[in-house]
Structure 1
Amino acid sequence: MQNAAIIGLAIVDIILVALSQIALWQRKEYRADRMREYIDSPEGSLKQHPWPLIAGLLVGMGWMLVLRENEVAAEYAGLASLLLILVGHTVRIRIKGVMRPTLTFRAGIVSLVVCIACIAWGIYLVIPHILVALQMATLAFFLPVIIAGVVFLVTIPATLQKKWVISQAKKLRNSFDTLTVVGITGSVGKTSTKTYLLHILGGASKTVQATSEHRNSPYVVALDMLSKLTSKTSTYIAEMGAYKKGEIAELCQLAQPKIGVLTAITNQHAALFGSLENLATAKWELIDALPTDGIAVLNADDKNVVKKAKGLKKKVVWYSLKEKNPILTHASVIGNGQLSSVFAAVTVARTLGVSDDVIAKRLATLPVLSQTMELKKGKNSSTVIDDSYSASEASVMNAIEYLRELSVGDNRLVMVPIIELGSEGPAVHKRIGKALSPLPIQVYIYGDAYREDIQKGLGVSPAAIVVWMNDPKVTAQQIAKDMATETVVVLEGRLPNIIRQAVIPDLIGDPSKEVDSRLRGNDKRL
């Protein structure tokens, strides 16, 4: 009976560890470089979550006791490790919810192999009832390593299959001599620019296509091309992302763009590239890959783009919000970040020969991008700007700039610290704190990462009231408290759904209706 209880406890631990680890690998796209960066970041640091290390020390202590032939004490060490793992995951679940992978073919294969490995461990070691608690605690502690090994093994056939798909897409692309491909890359604004350009060109049709959402790496772009490109396709818009040098070059070999759009070069994912210079070189692969008669569409408002373009021999078409182009008044978007994406799309459309009259009509009906400075009706008829799709320094600064331009009132910012910044992290969060300091707003920061750096930026007596929170339920209750018609809440970064649901009980069909009048007077920013 005692062993049965221990095995039951261990099974719960193993399920929780397996679900969270497979979900984490999936979130990091099964990439070792992204996982290494996560482990080195404040989000994954053992300083923030010391209990796995303590559990491992208990396991090590248990095996040392076995060597000294004190099996009873060794079992107690194993049981303590199992209980600590359960408590650690229980606390994490309370704060962030249950981590579980989205059901996909690869996640299913990884889960199946891990399950088989765990069963084999149990049959070989646990069923004979030899050191049950210590054996199970050892399995639970080393399970992340086992899962990493399984991910590596599953990646081998997946890589071979990806290469075959990419080769087929290349053959298809080479058969279309008249196809014009627009490649879009940049640290921020890729998806927005792609979506707006597709809309300006009339939307997806037999002649115009664009990569689907979340498809911006070689394999998934290849799948997209195989499913969408035909002999009737005249224009294909390809979003191009990268986490290391060479990936955009590979995308360009596949898609062969004639027009290349570079929206921005910022520190987003800088940790994966090693430096901003490496990141800039990776993004510039799109411009380098353009043919001699190709056209580079570049953001003149980004100093890093301007610096990189010095000496460029290819044709360049610049766009800048400093131009105050009247055609942009037809676009109803929130924040200069989105407006810059609109202007990038307009510039490409003009390059493709679309008239300003047609562009103006299409801008009047731009689609609303989900969780990207999206205007929503909040609790008690308040106003919520949902920018929780992702987070970067540029998007946070854009949200702060938006709040700065509002009249003084009940304005609130909810944000999470930014990940994958590497050595840039402290400086970035110090700049965020400095930008927040003079604003008379309430700021709720979910998570303690970079807390000291933000506090340094805030200074001694900031106008902003900043609160750090870790419990999602308490955070949701606090943010939603006393929300009224005049309240404006900006959600910035990937926040738990319970927080979003607390401030946005119902989504409205037309986000232009029933919003705070202070927003209507800011057409220069919309």
Structure 2
Amino acid sequence: MTNGFYSIISFFFFIFLLRNILFWVSLWQIKEYRSDRLRAHLLSTRQGRSLIFGFENIIKITVLLLFFLIIFVDKLTFYYSIIVSVIYLISFIKVIYELTNKKFKLPKITIKSILIFFLTFLIGLLLYLLPLLDKFFWLVFVDKILTFIIAFEIALFSIPSDFYKDLIIYRAVKKRNLYKKLLVIGVTGSYGKGSTKEYLATILSGKFNILKTPSNNNTSIGVAKTILSSLNERKQIFVVEMGAYKIGEIKEICSIAKPRVGILTAVNDQHIALFGNLNNTMKAKYELIESLPNNGFSMFNAGNPNSLNLACKTKRKKIIYFADYNDKTAQILKEAPSLSQETESLHMLPYEACENKNLEYDIVATNIKIDKFQISFNVELKNKNKKISSLKVRLLGGYNVENLLPGIYLADYLGMTKSEIRESLKKILPIKKTMEPFITQKKTVFIDDTYNSGFASVDSAVEYMKLYKGKKALVLSPLIELGKNASFDHYSLALKIGGICDYLILTNNDFIEEIKKGIDKSQGECVIMVDSPKNIASFISVTFAKNDVVVFEGREAGLPLKFLEYEKVN
């Protein structure tokens, strides 16, 4: 092969190499540079498994192994170089396709991601310039080895990162201890914690100076940075969202923030691939309750069976809140003792702690009315014999009522008047990318729910779609980190989707067989599609019109939105 030909193939190689480095840095970043989350992705999703067992990877590994055959047969060297050349020509075309279809993955620009990218590229360039064996073989070798080099760099960076994290936390704890009168409210749960935190902060800001953790900055280092950057003597209340992927992480956040009130929104099998089982998830979330001081109290959502179970377990002062959508309070308690061994696959554990206990609800939402862009309801504060009627809030989906109740209760507890609570509720708007409504020129309603995705959020979004009389489509990124429940969960969701939606548009093929079975079982007329973001956007533009609704659920589902035109709903 001539040097000119090799230079052309090298160009194709480096274009793909840049893409591959960016892809892996982005993937590690999405998984928060955690090996447990990356491992769950690689082993439990079709996308992840394709990175290991996919056709492209198998071909490249085969080519690497074939080299040890051709070194003994010189005549095969030419054909070997042709095979490698074709591989990187196809890889180059793949990059162009990803760029034109906006499927090219880029990491968020941070110091860490920049360092990893440039260090990996420099190592790749150095290896390319110093081939130890046949230069075509060496291209494939460098391609494959850089994935492991990125993993090694991340492990190496974890040493100074851990030291930096410990230093930040130490400084944050010292600063937090200076504010003895600060009321800290911790919020955790498998779902609903972000919305609950935002609504709570907005409601209480009607009377108090509030500090809250921004966005989903719910880790120990995130909370510590918020304290260092934003906590001052003017702040009266600190609302802290607490996330975790394993036992011990919420306890660490509590040791930093020192909450006096703990809110447990719900527990289900979200991230169960990381926790191992539902019991571990419940233990992790309960760390917030165990960390509360003697003069503190906890709040539990009775609408979630596992949260209710933990409420029954605790001996601390507790407040139980409940959104009574269909007078199901009595039904939940009636069925509690008889739950079977299959309950874990249904996202709940038996109510062992609840048996023979007379539960009382401290705050209940009743007369809930759900419109397309508004919810109205009444609130009864049982322990005060107080009722607040005809509350209205501009949110989508009835499930939001239970996320509002902790804020309403605490507002009353802290002395806010009914009128102050009403005014605060008027300020609440959909959180960005969380059931956020838009409308097109054709009057099709788009719902952006791409911030995060879990079983409960998909279920709630599909339930919301019943309000529309026209065509209904769900653009869904299949769920992740569900462990052994993943197949059952996707089947269950598909069963419901099939009975409500006209179209289910998937962003990838993960759990496609289970989804098809659920759709077929539903006996509905829902059409399943799997396509690229650009093609999905084109289909939506042509197919949907006035009175139709399209819900975009999960991060990947946000990609088609980049090709569509729409504006906010006023």
TM over 0.5: yes
- Tell me how large the CA RMSD over aligned residues is: 2.2
Q: Distance in 1 between matches of 2:415 and 2:545?
A: 47
Corresponding residue number in structure 1 for 2:566 = 506
Contact 2:499 2:526 in 1 (8 A): no
- Cα distance change of structure 1 residues 169 and 250 upon mapping to structure 2, 3 Å threshold: same
Where does residue 495 of structure 1 map in the other structure?
556
**Of 410, 422, 433, which residue of structure 2 is paired with 1:371?**
433
1:12-27 alignment, distance < 5 Å: 12-27=15-30
Contact 1:22 1:111 (C-alpha < 8 Å) held by counterparts: yes
Q: Do 2:474 and 2:501's aligned partners in 1 also have CA atoms closer than 8 Å?
A: no
The offset of 1:379, in angstroms, is 3.8
Give the 3-state SS of the residue equivalent to 1:97 in structure 2.
Answer: coil
Aligned match of 1:194: 197
Residue type matched to 1:247 in 2? E
Which secondary structure state, in structure 1, belongs to the residue aligned with residue 422 of structure 2?
A: helix
Q: Note if contact 2:495-2:519 (Cα within 8 Å) is conserved in structure 1.
A: yes
Residue 118 of structure 1 pairs with residue 124 of structure 2: yes
CA deviation profile, 1:440-482 (whole Å, cap 9, x unmatched): 6333222221111112222356224222222222211112224
Equivalent AA in structure 2 for residue 198 of structure 1 = A
Write out per-residue CA displacement over residues 196-237 of structure 1, whole angstroms, 9 at most, x where no aligned residue: 1111112797x3211111311011110110011123322111
Q: Match for residue 357 of structure 2?
A: none
Q: Which amino acid aligns with 1:344?
A: P
CA deviations over 1:24-74 (Å, ceiling 9, x no partner): 111111111111011012231128843122212212212342255654444
State whether residues 7 and 132 of structure 1, in contact with CA within 8 Å, keep that contact through their aligned partners in structure 2: no
What residue number does 1:5 align with?
8
Moved more, 445-454 or 57-66: 57-66
Match of 1:36 among 12, 36, 39: 39
CA–CA distance in structure 2, aligned partners of residues 364 and 203 of structure 1: 10
| Stretch deviating more after TM superposition (407-416 or 303-312) | 407-416
Give me the whole-angstrom Cα distance separating, in 2, the residues matched to 1:440 and 1:494.
20
Superposed CA deviations along residues 321-340 of structure 1, whole A, max 9, x for unmatched, are 11313447322211123222
Do the aligned partners of residues 409 and 112 (structure 1) sit closer, same or farther apart at CA in structure 2, a change above 3 Å counting?
Answer: closer
For the structure 1 residues 59 and 234, does the alpha-carbon distance in structure 2 shift closer, same or farther, using more than 3 Å as the test? same
Q: CA deviation at 1:400?
A: 1.4
The alpha carbon displacement at 1:78 in A equals: 3.5
Q: CA deviation at 1:157?
A: 0.8
* Corresponding residue number in structure 2 for 1:149: 152
What TM-score do the two structures reach when normalised by structure 2?
0.83
Q: Does residue 1:357 correspond to 2:419, yes or no?
A: yes
How far has the Cα of 1:91 moved from its partner? 5.7
Cα distance, 1:98–1:501 mapped onto 2, change above 3 Å:
closer
Is the contact made by 1:59 and 1:81 (CA closer than 8 Å) also made in structure 2? no
Aligned amino acid, residue 285 of structure 1 = E
SS state at 2:130 partner: helix
1:159 aligns with 2:172: no
Conservation of the 8 A alpha-carbon contact between 1:185 and 1:261? yes
SS of the aligned residue for 1:353 comes to coil
| Bigger Cα displacement from structure 2, 230-239 vs 220-229 | 230-239
Written as runs of structure 1 = structure 2, the 5 A alignment for 1:83-162 is: 83=89, 85-86=91-92, 89=95, 97-125=103-131, 131-162=134-165
The 2-side partners of 1:464 and 1:447 are apart by: 21
- Structure 2 match to 1:311: 313
CA distance 1:470–1:441, shift in 2 (3 Å): closer
Shift of the 189–427 alpha-carbon distance from structure 1 to 2, 3 Å rule, reads same
Choose which of 258, 263, 266 in structure 1 pairs with 2:265: 263
Tell me the SS of whatever aligns to 1:386.
Answer: strand
Farther-moved stretch of structure 1 (445-454 vs 215-224): 445-454
Match of 2:56 in 1: 51
Contact in 1 for aligned 2:448/2:558 (Cα 8 Å): no
What is the alpha-carbon distance in structure 2 between the residues aligned to residue 74 and residue 166 of structure 1?
55
Pick from 489, 512, 516 the counterpart of residue 455 of structure 1: 516
For residue 190 of structure 1, what is the amino acid of its counterpart? Answer: K
1:191 maps to amino acid:
G
Q: 2:410 corresponds to which residue?
A: 348
Cα separation, 2, equivalents of 1:258 and 1:446: 42
The 3 A distance-change label for structure 1 pair 134 and 84 is farther
Percent identical across equivalent pairs? 28
Counterpart among 221, 227, 232 of residue 230 in structure 1: 232
For residues 407 and 233 of structure 1, do their structure 2 counterparts lie closer, same or farther at Cα, with a shift above 3 Å needed? closer
Question: Are 1:179 and 1:234, in contact at CA under 8 Å, matched by a contact in 2?
Answer: yes
- 1:380-399 mapped onto 2 (5 Å cutoff): 380-399=442-461
Residues 379 and 419 (structure 1 numbering): CA distance in 2 closer, same or farther, change over 3 Å? Answer: farther
Structure-2 residue corresponding to 1:419? 480
CA distance in 2, matches of 1:501, 1:76: 38
- Which amino acid is the alignment partner of residue 169 of structure 2? I
Worse-superposed segment, 392-401 or 338-347: 338-347
How far apart are residue 374 of structure 1 and its match?
Answer: 1.3
Which region of structure 1 is more displaced relative to structure 2, 387-396 or 85-94? 85-94
Which letter maps to 2:148? V
Structure 1 pair 464/308, CA: closer, same or farther in 2 (3 Å)?
A: farther
Alignment of 1:438-449 (within 5 A): 438-439=499-500, 441-449=502-510
Which amino acid letter does the alignment assign opposite residue 188 of structure 1? Y
Give me the whole-angstrom Cα distance separating, in 2, the residues matched to 1:484 and 1:138.
Answer: 51
Task: Check the 8 A contact 2:498/2:519 in 1, yes or no.
Answer: yes
> Given that residues 62 and 75 in structure 1 are in contact (C-alpha distance below 8 angstroms), is that contact kept between their aligned partners in structure 2?
no
Cα pair distance change 1:274/1:90, threshold 3 Å: farther
Q: Distance in 2 between matches of 1:251 and 1:345?
A: 21
Q: Name the SS of the counterpart of 2:122 in structure 1.
A: helix
* Contact 2:213 2:241 (C-alpha < 8 Å) held by counterparts: yes
**2: CA distance between counterparts of 1:76 and 1:378?**
50
Question: Which residue in 2 is equivalent to 1:400?
Answer: 462
Unaligned runs of 5+ in 1: 514-526
How far the C-alpha of 1:408 sits from its partner, in A, is 3.3
Letter in 1 for 2:192: G
Could you say if the C-alpha distance between residues 92 and 243 of structure 1 is closer, same or farther in structure 2, counting changes exceeding 3 Å? farther
> SS at 1:437's partner residue?
helix
User: TM-score, normalised to structure 1's length?
Assistant: 0.90
- Matched with 1:523 is none
> Is the CA contact (8 Å cut-off) linking 2:519 and 2:526 kept in structure 1?
no
CA distance, structure 1, for counterparts of residue 566 and residue 501 of structure 2: 28
Tell me which moved more, 368-377 or 76-85: 76-85
Give the aligned partner of residue 401 of structure 2: 339
For the 8 Å contact 1:293–1:314, the answer to whether it is kept is: no
Deviations 1:370-399 (A, max 9, x none): 111112222412222221211110001001
One-letter amino acid of the structure 1 residue matched with residue 549 of structure 2: V
Match of 1:209 in 2: 211
Show CA shifts across 1:290-337 (max 9, x none): 112211111000001111222311111111111313447322211123
Q: Encode CA deviations 1:139-182: one digit per residue, 9 max, x unaligned.
A: 01221111111111112111111110000001111122111100
The corresponding residue for 1:288 is: 290
The yes-or-no answer on 1:61 pairing with 2:66 is yes
- Taking the aligned partners of 2:399 and 2:67, their CA distance within structure 1 comes to 55
